């Protein structure tokens, strides 16, 4: 039994079942045993690999897209260059290298990183110079804000609900025969899920991610007021349904209740909820990552890089391009949505918002 499992078991015995959000927050961010607090989870030796760790092309293209929006908005100086959940800092390093020749961009940029993990804060500070760390978006400076978040929102704690009549039962983590087990609360009405009564039926499961809505609310208000944009990249859909709460350990799916604090826990991102929370900022549609990267020119960039490669490194490079863009890999599952000020030019490569949103 992990130390955190013993502690969670004692807590449930004392005060009753936990919501999935409470359980997820303890597993990921417990000050002593939390998954993100105790380790660097990324890369081949870690538990999972992300797009910026797969290829430098990802951060480069994201960087050029952000620099394009910055120029479209008249190159505001100074501005806050923000990343949420930067991991090892790889995306930001690639973004900065790719934008080195954009006139005035680096001189105007102040680097602000939102990061909960002391281990990853150290890695970011070592790789990048002049960074300011924040616990959340509330303390960001009052400047135009150009932000990126890759695989950040999937790590924020979700609550899960199962439709019962016109009410919802919350999925809880309790105890069965002394071991952690899922259970359901009594049915309760929930105004925050009224918009899902139309497209769900008895027994369907939906997620609610209140912390994500709070973060996006702060970003959206700032972008609407001071200018800027945010690129949000994650796995999920415009509207998510079903049980997407999952654990990943050592590059394989695991039981989310199996080893608290030792596995990454995530859920698919519901982009509609983010878009709703971002008002008064405008938003694009959640566009497939493969489509976004192709529109930004990943194939010519891949071909240019390939000229310098041969043998195994060339094969790896070709595989990385495929992994980022192909519909059978990350190309369709991952989506990109931008927030930007009403009336401004939307960021490049993204579909306009759906008529009904
Ligand atoms: N963007 C990086 C890392 C993704 S992993 C990449 O693409 O490689 C998720 C990141 O979000 C990690 O840096 C993790 O420590 C951070 N994180 C998770 N929950 C957080 C929270 N509640 N507040 C701030 N950072 C958080």
The whole-number pLDDT of residue 357 equals 59
Tell how far the Cα of 348 is from the centroid of ligand 1, in angstroms.
Answer: 25
Closest atom of ligand 1 relative to the 114 alpha carbon: 24
Give the count of beta carbons closer than 10 Å to the beta carbon of residue 290. 21
Give the count of beta carbons closer than 10 Å to the beta carbon of residue 62. 28
Q: Which tokens go with 79? A: 């501005």
Tell how far the Cα of 328 is from the centroid of ligand 1, in angstroms.
Answer: 25
The whole-number pLDDT of residue 355 equals 65
How confident is the model over 292-349, as pLDDT tens digits?
999 999 999 999 999 999 999 999 999 999 999 999 999 999 999 999 999 999 999 9
Sign of CA dihedral 148, 285, 75, 63: positive
Is the CB–ligand 1 distance for residue 152 below 6 Å?
Answer: yes
The whole-number pLDDT of residue 354 equals 76
Sequence ranges of the domains in the chain: 36-157+208-294+332-340
The whole-number pLDDT of residue 356 equals 59
Is the CB–ligand 1 distance for residue 154 below 6 Å?
Answer: no
Tell how far the Cα of 177 is from the centroid of ligand 1, in angstroms.
Answer: 34
Confidence of residue 44 (pLDDT cuts 50, 70, 90): confident
Contact, 293 vs 324, CB < 8 A?
Answer: yes
The average pLDDT across 24-53 equals: 91
The whole-number pLDDT of residue 1 equals 83
The whole-number pLDDT of residue 240 equals 86
Confidence of residue 94 (pLDDT cuts 50, 70, 90): very high
Is the CB–ligand 1 distance for residue 168 below 6 Å?
Answer: no
Beta bridge partners of 101: none
The whole-number pLDDT of residue 46 equals 85
d(CA 286, CA 273): 12
Q: Strand, coil or helix: what is 7?
A: helix
Is residue 125 scored above 80 in pLDDT?
A: yes
Tell how far the Cα of 64 is from the centroid of ligand 1, in angstroms.
Answer: 22
How confident is the model over 267-285, as pLDDT tens digits?
999 999 999 999 999 999 9
Ligand 1, atom 21: closest residue by C-alpha: 116
Please confirm whether the linkage preceding 280 is cis (ω < 30° from 0).
yes
The average pLDDT across 107-118 equals: 97
Tell how far the Cα of 134 is from the centroid of ligand 1, in angstroms.
Answer: 12
Is residue 4 scored above 80 in pLDDT?
A: yes
Give the count of beta carbons closer than 10 Å to the beta carbon of residue 263. 26
Is residue 184 scored above 80 in pLDDT?
A: yes
Half-sphere exposure of 335 (CA within 13 A, CB side): 21
List Cβ neighbours of 44 (8 Å cut-off, separation of 6 or more).
none
Tell how far the Cα of 154 is from the centroid of ligand 1, in angstroms.
Answer: 9
Residue-averaged pLDDT of the chain: 96
The predicted model scores a pTM of 0.96
Is residue 43 scored above 90 in pLDDT?
A: no
Is the CB–ligand 1 distance for residue 115 below 6 Å?
Answer: yes
The whole-number pLDDT of residue 47 equals 87
Counting ligand 1 atoms within 8 A of each CB, the residue from 87, 94, 139 with the most, and so the one to mutate, is: 87
Confidence of residue 265 (pLDDT cuts 50, 70, 90): very high
Of 43-57, 149-163, 214-228, least confident by mean pLDDT is 43-57
Tell me if the domain spanning 36-157+208-294+332-340 has CATH number 3.40.50.150: yes
Beta bridge partners of 252: 249
Is the CB–ligand 1 distance for residue 59 below 6 Å?
Answer: no
Is residue 163 scored above 70 in pLDDT?
A: yes
Is residue 56 scored above 90 in pLDDT?
A: yes
Counting ligand 1 atoms within 8 A of each CB, the residue from 55, 85, 150 with the most, and so the one to mutate, is: 85
Contact, 232 vs 338, CB < 8 A?
Answer: yes
Tell how far the Cα of 109 is from the centroid of ligand 1, in angstroms.
Answer: 22
The average pLDDT across 208-219 equals: 96
Beta-sheet pairing, 159-164 with 167-176 = antiparallel
Is the CB–ligand 1 distance for residue 53 below 6 Å?
Answer: yes
The whole-number pLDDT of residue 241 equals 85
Is the CB–ligand 1 distance for residue 349 below 6 Å?
Answer: no
Q: Which tokens go with 222? A: 């700032």
The average pLDDT across 150-173 equals: 97
Give the count of beta carbons closer than 10 Å to the beta carbon of residue 39. 15
Long-range pairs, 138-144, Cβ under 8 A, ≥24: 138/218, 140/80, 140/82, 140/112, 140/114, 140/218, 140/222, 141/80, 141/110, 141/112, 142/226, 143/76, 143/78, 143/79, 143/80, 143/110, 143/226, 144/73, 144/76, 144/79, 144/80, 144/226, 144/227, 144/228
Of 11-25, 34-48, 208-222, least confident by mean pLDDT is 34-48
Beta bridge partners of 340: 282
The average pLDDT across 21-35 equals: 96
């Amino acid at each position: 039994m992990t130390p955190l499992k013993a502690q969670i078991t004692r807590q449930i015995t004392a005060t009753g079942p936990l919501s999935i959000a409470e359980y997820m927050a303890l597993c990921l961010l417990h000050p002593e045993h939390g998954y993100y607090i105790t380790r660097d989870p990324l890369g081949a030796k870690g538990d999972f690999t992300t797009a910026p760790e797969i290829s430098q092309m990802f951060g480069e293209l994201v960087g050029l897209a952000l620099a394009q929006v910055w120029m479209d908005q008249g190159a505001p100086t100074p501005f806050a260059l923000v990343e949420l959940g930067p991991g090892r800092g790889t995306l930001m390093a690639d973004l900065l290298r790719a934008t080195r020749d954009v006139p005035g961009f680096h001189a105007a940029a102040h680097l602000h990183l939102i990061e909960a993990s002391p281990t990853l804060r150290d890695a970011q500070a070592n790789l990048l110079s002049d960074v300011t760390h924040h616990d959340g978006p509330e303390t960001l400076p009052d400047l135009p804000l150009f932000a990126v978040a890759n695989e950040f929102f999937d790590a924020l704690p979700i609550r899960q609900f199962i439709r019962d009549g016109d009410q919802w039962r919350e999925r809880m983590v309790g105890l069965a025969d002394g071991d952690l087990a899922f259970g359901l609360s009594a049915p309760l009405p929930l105004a925050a899920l009224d918009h899902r009564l139309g497209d769900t039926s008895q027994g369907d499961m939906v997620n609610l991610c209140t912390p994500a809505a709070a973060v996006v609310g702060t970003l959206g208000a700032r972008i609407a007021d001071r200018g800027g944009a945010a690129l949000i990249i994650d796995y999920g859909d415009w509207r998510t349904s079903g049980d997407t709460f999952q654990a990943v350990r050592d590059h394989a799916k695991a039981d989310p209740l199996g080893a608290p604090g030792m596995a990454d826990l995530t859920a698919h991102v519901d982009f509609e909820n983010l878009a709703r929370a971002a008002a008064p900022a405008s938003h694009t549609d959640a566009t497939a990552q493969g489509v976004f990267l192709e529109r930004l020119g990943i194939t010519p960039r891949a071909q240019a890089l390939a000229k310098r490669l041969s043998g195994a490194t060339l094969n790896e490079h070709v595989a990385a391009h495929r992994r980022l863009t192909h519909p059978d890999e990350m190309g369709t599952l991952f989506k990109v949505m931008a927030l930007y000020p009403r009336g401004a030019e939307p960021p490049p490569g993204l579909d306009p918002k759906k008529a009904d949103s």
